[in-house]
Amino acid sequence: MTEQSTVTPETAGTPAAEAVAPPAPQGRRRLLAALRWTVAVLAFAAAGTGAAYGITRAERTDLPGLSTQDDGRWTYPALAKPGLAPGAAQPFAKDNEDGIHYAALPQLLLPAPKGSTPDAALRVEKDQAVSVDTFLEEYEPAARTKMKQAFTDDGLRQIAARGWTMPDGTRTRVYLLRFHSSGFVDAFEGCGINMNLNGINRIEGDSDWSKVKNDQNPPDLADVSLFAEAAPVGDEDLKAGCVKGGDTQAVVLQTRKGKVAAVPFHQTVILQDQLLH
Protein backbone atom coordinates (compact mmCIF):
# COMPACT_ATOMS: atom_id res chain seq x y z
CA MET A 1 0.00 0.00 0.00
CA THR A 2 1.28 3.47 -0.81
CA GLU A 3 1.50 5.65 2.27
CA GLN A 4 -0.43 8.89 2.14
CA SER A 5 0.79 12.03 3.85
CA THR A 6 -1.26 14.48 5.83
CA VAL A 7 -0.66 18.13 6.58
CA THR A 8 2.23 18.64 8.95
CA PRO A 9 2.54 21.57 11.40
CA GLU A 10 3.61 24.96 10.17
CA THR A 11 7.27 25.17 9.25
CA ALA A 12 9.67 28.01 9.84
CA GLY A 13 9.93 28.58 6.12
CA THR A 14 11.63 25.23 5.44
CA PRO A 15 10.78 22.92 2.53
CA ALA A 16 8.08 20.32 3.12
CA ALA A 17 10.60 17.48 3.11
CA GLU A 18 12.56 18.90 6.07
CA ALA A 19 11.80 18.12 9.69
CA VAL A 20 9.24 20.33 11.41
CA ALA A 21 8.42 21.00 15.02
CA PRO A 22 5.69 18.86 16.62
CA PRO A 23 2.19 20.37 16.67
CA ALA A 24 0.80 22.06 19.73
CA PRO A 25 -1.29 19.75 21.94
CA GLN A 26 -4.55 21.25 20.69
CA GLY A 27 -3.50 20.85 17.06
CA ARG A 28 -2.26 17.30 17.68
CA ARG A 29 -5.58 16.28 19.24
CA ARG A 30 -7.49 17.74 16.31
CA LEU A 31 -5.28 16.02 13.75
CA LEU A 32 -5.51 12.61 15.45
CA ALA A 33 -9.26 12.91 15.80
CA ALA A 34 -9.59 13.93 12.17
CA LEU A 35 -7.50 10.92 11.15
CA ARG A 36 -9.73 8.51 13.03
CA TRP A 37 -12.92 9.97 11.62
CA THR A 38 -11.51 10.26 8.11
CA VAL A 39 -10.76 6.55 8.09
CA ALA A 40 -14.40 5.94 9.07
CA VAL A 41 -15.66 8.25 6.32
CA LEU A 42 -13.66 6.57 3.59
CA ALA A 43 -14.32 3.08 4.91
CA PHE A 44 -18.03 3.78 4.66
CA ALA A 45 -17.66 5.14 1.13
CA ALA A 46 -15.94 1.88 0.20
CA ALA A 47 -18.82 -0.33 1.33
CA GLY A 48 -19.28 -3.02 -1.26
CA THR A 49 -15.63 -3.12 -2.30
CA GLY A 50 -14.28 -4.92 0.77
CA ALA A 51 -11.57 -2.32 1.50
CA ALA A 52 -11.10 0.36 4.13
CA TYR A 53 -9.45 3.66 3.30
CA GLY A 54 -7.18 6.15 5.06
CA ILE A 55 -5.99 9.38 3.48
CA THR A 56 -3.43 10.47 6.04
CA ARG A 57 -0.02 9.03 6.77
CA ALA A 58 -0.47 5.88 8.85
CA GLU A 59 1.12 2.49 9.18
CA ARG A 60 -0.82 -0.50 7.81
CA THR A 61 -1.22 -1.91 11.33
CA ASP A 62 -3.00 1.29 12.41
CA LEU A 63 -5.77 0.76 9.88
CA PRO A 64 -7.49 -2.62 10.30
CA GLY A 65 -8.88 -4.03 7.08
CA LEU A 66 -6.37 -2.43 4.74
CA SER A 67 -5.28 -5.32 2.60
CA THR A 68 -5.24 -4.11 -0.96
CA GLN A 69 -3.01 -1.61 -2.70
CA ASP A 70 -5.63 -0.38 -5.15
CA ASP A 71 -8.04 1.16 -2.67
CA GLY A 72 -9.16 4.15 -4.70
CA ARG A 73 -7.15 6.84 -2.95
CA TRP A 74 -4.99 9.28 -4.84
CA THR A 75 -1.36 9.75 -3.86
CA TYR A 76 -0.66 13.35 -2.89
CA PRO A 77 2.77 14.87 -2.21
CA ALA A 78 3.81 15.32 1.42
CA LEU A 79 1.83 18.30 2.66
CA ALA A 80 3.09 21.05 4.95
CA LYS A 81 1.48 24.24 6.09
CA PRO A 82 3.53 27.26 4.97
CA GLY A 83 5.93 29.07 7.24
CA LEU A 84 5.03 32.58 8.39
CA ALA A 85 7.00 35.76 8.91
CA PRO A 86 8.27 36.26 12.48
CA GLY A 87 5.48 37.51 14.70
CA ALA A 88 2.67 36.54 12.35
CA ALA A 89 -0.12 34.67 14.11
CA GLN A 90 -1.20 31.23 12.98
CA PRO A 91 -4.85 31.01 11.85
CA PHE A 92 -7.21 30.22 14.73
CA ALA A 93 -4.55 30.87 17.38
CA LYS A 94 -5.68 32.70 20.52
CA ASP A 95 -4.47 35.98 19.06
CA ASN A 96 -6.04 35.23 15.66
CA GLU A 97 -9.39 33.61 16.37
CA ASP A 98 -10.94 35.02 13.18
CA GLY A 99 -8.67 32.73 11.18
CA ILE A 100 -6.77 35.30 9.15
CA HIS A 101 -4.20 33.55 6.94
CA TYR A 102 -0.93 35.45 6.66
CA ALA A 103 0.61 32.96 4.24
CA ALA A 104 0.50 33.59 0.51
CA LEU A 105 -2.74 32.16 -0.85
CA PRO A 106 -1.09 29.77 -3.36
CA GLN A 107 0.74 28.12 -0.47
CA LEU A 108 -2.61 27.06 0.97
CA LEU A 109 -3.72 25.32 -2.23
CA LEU A 110 -3.79 21.54 -2.25
CA PRO A 111 -1.12 20.23 -4.67
CA ALA A 112 -2.09 17.95 -7.52
CA PRO A 113 -1.85 14.19 -6.87
CA LYS A 114 0.59 11.81 -8.51
CA GLY A 115 -0.36 10.74 -12.02
CA SER A 116 -2.42 13.84 -12.78
CA THR A 117 -2.01 16.28 -15.64
CA PRO A 118 -2.62 20.05 -15.30
CA ASP A 119 -6.05 21.22 -16.37
CA ALA A 120 -5.39 23.15 -19.58
CA ALA A 121 -8.94 24.54 -19.57
CA LEU A 122 -8.40 26.39 -16.28
CA ARG A 123 -6.89 29.80 -17.06
CA VAL A 124 -4.38 30.23 -14.25
CA GLU A 125 -2.23 33.34 -14.15
CA LYS A 126 0.96 34.10 -12.23
CA ASP A 127 1.18 32.55 -8.74
CA GLN A 128 -1.93 30.39 -9.35
CA ALA A 129 -4.15 33.47 -9.51
CA VAL A 130 -7.41 33.34 -11.45
CA SER A 131 -9.69 36.22 -12.35
CA VAL A 132 -13.18 36.62 -10.97
CA ASP A 133 -14.53 36.03 -14.47
CA THR A 134 -12.65 32.73 -14.75
CA PHE A 135 -14.06 31.54 -11.44
CA LEU A 136 -17.58 32.61 -12.42
CA GLU A 137 -17.45 30.40 -15.52
CA GLU A 138 -18.24 27.54 -13.13
CA TYR A 139 -21.68 29.10 -12.59
CA GLU A 140 -24.77 29.63 -14.72
CA PRO A 141 -24.54 32.82 -16.82
CA ALA A 142 -27.68 34.23 -15.19
CA ALA A 143 -26.02 34.10 -11.76
CA ARG A 144 -22.71 35.71 -12.67
CA THR A 145 -23.60 39.40 -12.63
CA LYS A 146 -25.07 39.23 -9.13
CA MET A 147 -22.14 37.19 -7.83
CA LYS A 148 -19.60 39.58 -9.34
CA GLN A 149 -21.26 42.54 -7.68
CA ALA A 150 -21.33 40.65 -4.37
CA PHE A 151 -17.58 40.11 -4.63
CA THR A 152 -17.14 43.87 -4.98
CA ASP A 153 -19.44 44.61 -2.06
CA ASP A 154 -18.39 41.78 0.26
CA GLY A 155 -14.65 42.09 0.58
CA LEU A 156 -13.15 39.60 -1.88
CA ARG A 157 -9.39 40.10 -2.00
CA GLN A 158 -8.12 37.42 -4.38
CA ILE A 159 -8.74 33.98 -5.88
CA ALA A 160 -6.17 31.24 -6.39
CA ALA A 161 -6.85 27.93 -8.10
CA ARG A 162 -5.35 24.65 -9.20
CA GLY A 163 -6.85 22.12 -11.59
CA TRP A 164 -5.89 18.66 -12.76
CA THR A 165 -7.22 15.60 -14.57
CA MET A 166 -6.60 12.00 -13.52
CA PRO A 167 -6.10 9.06 -15.93
CA ASP A 168 -9.68 7.88 -15.30
CA GLY A 169 -10.98 11.23 -16.57
CA THR A 170 -11.83 12.79 -13.20
CA ARG A 171 -11.34 16.54 -13.49
CA THR A 172 -10.72 18.53 -10.30
CA ARG A 173 -10.72 22.27 -9.73
CA VAL A 174 -9.81 23.71 -6.34
CA TYR A 175 -10.50 27.40 -5.80
CA LEU A 176 -9.48 29.43 -2.75
CA LEU A 177 -11.29 32.73 -2.27
CA ARG A 178 -9.70 35.07 0.28
CA PHE A 179 -11.90 37.72 1.86
CA HIS A 180 -11.13 40.51 4.32
CA SER A 181 -12.60 38.55 7.25
CA SER A 182 -14.50 35.40 8.14
CA GLY A 183 -17.73 37.40 8.23
CA PHE A 184 -17.52 37.91 4.47
CA VAL A 185 -16.87 34.17 4.04
CA ASP A 186 -20.05 33.45 6.00
CA ALA A 187 -21.95 35.80 3.67
CA PHE A 188 -20.66 34.08 0.52
CA GLU A 189 -23.53 32.20 -1.16
CA GLY A 190 -21.60 30.63 -4.01
CA CYS A 191 -20.90 27.32 -2.30
CA GLY A 192 -23.81 25.43 -0.83
CA ILE A 193 -27.03 23.62 -1.60
CA ASN A 194 -28.29 26.53 -3.72
CA MET A 195 -25.15 27.11 -5.79
CA ASN A 196 -26.04 27.63 -9.45
CA LEU A 197 -23.33 25.62 -11.15
CA ASN A 198 -23.06 25.72 -14.91
CA GLY A 199 -24.96 22.92 -16.64
CA ILE A 200 -26.26 21.42 -13.39
CA ASN A 201 -29.98 21.32 -12.79
CA ARG A 202 -29.80 20.78 -9.02
CA ILE A 203 -27.42 19.57 -6.33
CA GLU A 204 -28.12 17.83 -3.04
CA GLY A 205 -26.16 16.68 -0.01
CA ASP A 206 -23.57 13.97 -0.64
CA SER A 207 -25.40 10.90 0.68
CA ASP A 208 -22.22 8.95 1.59
CA TRP A 209 -20.91 11.86 3.61
CA SER A 210 -24.27 12.52 5.28
CA LYS A 211 -24.77 8.92 6.41
CA VAL A 212 -21.33 8.75 7.99
CA LYS A 213 -21.87 12.05 9.82
CA ASN A 214 -25.12 10.65 11.23
CA ASP A 215 -23.37 7.51 12.48
CA GLN A 216 -20.14 9.07 13.72
CA ASN A 217 -19.05 12.03 15.84
CA PRO A 218 -17.02 14.05 13.35
CA PRO A 219 -14.25 16.14 14.99
CA ASP A 220 -13.91 19.75 13.95
CA LEU A 221 -15.40 19.30 10.48
CA ALA A 222 -18.34 21.65 10.94
CA ASP A 223 -16.93 23.94 8.25
CA VAL A 224 -16.97 21.16 5.61
CA SER A 225 -20.01 20.53 3.40
CA LEU A 226 -20.19 18.07 0.50
CA PHE A 227 -22.72 17.97 -2.31
CA ALA A 228 -23.53 15.83 -5.32
CA GLU A 229 -25.48 16.38 -8.52
CA ALA A 230 -29.09 15.28 -8.11
CA ALA A 231 -30.61 12.74 -10.48
CA PRO A 232 -31.15 12.64 -13.33
CA VAL A 233 -27.45 13.06 -14.12
CA GLY A 234 -26.29 13.56 -17.68
CA ASP A 235 -23.15 12.18 -19.31
CA GLU A 236 -20.94 13.93 -16.73
CA ASP A 237 -21.37 13.61 -12.96
CA LEU A 238 -20.42 16.39 -10.52
CA LYS A 239 -19.57 16.62 -6.82
CA ALA A 240 -18.83 19.84 -4.94
CA GLY A 241 -17.04 20.45 -1.64
CA CYS A 242 -17.23 23.64 0.42
CA VAL A 243 -14.71 24.44 3.16
CA LYS A 244 -14.77 27.55 5.32
CA GLY A 245 -11.38 28.38 6.80
CA GLY A 246 -11.43 31.74 8.55
CA ASP A 247 -10.97 34.44 5.92
CA THR A 248 -10.76 31.85 3.11
CA GLN A 249 -13.44 29.86 1.31
CA ALA A 250 -12.46 26.72 -0.59
CA VAL A 251 -14.61 25.49 -3.47
CA VAL A 252 -13.71 21.99 -4.69
CA LEU A 253 -15.34 20.70 -7.87
CA GLN A 254 -14.92 17.23 -9.36
CA THR A 255 -16.50 16.07 -12.60
CA ARG A 256 -16.28 12.84 -14.54
CA LYS A 257 -18.10 11.06 -17.31
CA GLY A 258 -20.06 8.30 -15.66
CA LYS A 259 -19.69 8.85 -11.90
CA VAL A 260 -17.31 10.72 -9.59
CA ALA A 261 -15.77 8.25 -7.11
CA ALA A 262 -16.55 9.02 -3.47
CA VAL A 263 -13.16 8.10 -1.97
CA PRO A 264 -10.85 10.51 -3.83
CA PHE A 265 -13.48 13.24 -3.62
CA HIS A 266 -13.73 12.98 0.17
CA GLN A 267 -9.94 12.66 0.39
CA THR A 268 -9.37 15.83 -1.63
CA VAL A 269 -11.81 17.95 0.38
CA ILE A 270 -10.51 16.79 3.77
CA LEU A 271 -6.89 17.44 2.83
CA GLN A 272 -7.77 20.93 1.64
CA ASP A 273 -9.59 21.50 4.93
CA GLN A 274 -6.46 20.48 6.86
CA LEU A 275 -4.34 22.97 4.91
CA LEU A 276 -6.70 25.81 5.85
CA HIS A 277 -6.88 24.88 9.54
Q: Is residue 170 part of a domain?
A: yes
Residues in the chain, total? 277
State which residues form the domain around 267. 7-276
1 domain-assigned = no
> Which of 104, 86, 87 minimizes the C-alpha distance to 95?
87
Q: Residue 168 falls within a domain, yes or no? A: yes
User: CB neighbours (10 Å) of residue 176?
Assistant: 27
- Which of these, 240, 222, 271, 220, lies nearest to 76 by C-alpha position? 271
**Residues in Cβ contact with 3 at an 8 Å cutoff, skipping those fewer than 6 apart:** 57, 58
- Tens digit of each residue's pLDDT (9 = 90 or more) over 215-262: 766 666 889 999 999 998 888 999 999 999 999 999 999 999 999 999
**Coil, strand or helix at 133:** helix
Evaluate whether 80 touches 275 at the Cβ level (below 8 Å).
no
**Any domain includes 224:** yes
Q: Is 15 left (phi over 0), alpha (psi -120 to 50) or beta?
A: beta
- The answer to whether residue 147 is domain-embedded is yes
106 located within any domain? yes
Residue 25 lies in a domain: yes
| pLDDT tens digit sequence for 123-165 | 999 999 999 999 999 999 999 999 999 999 988 999 999 999 9
Q: How many domains is the chain partitioned into structurally? A: 1
Provide the whole-model pTM: 0.78
Is 196 a domain residue? Answer: yes
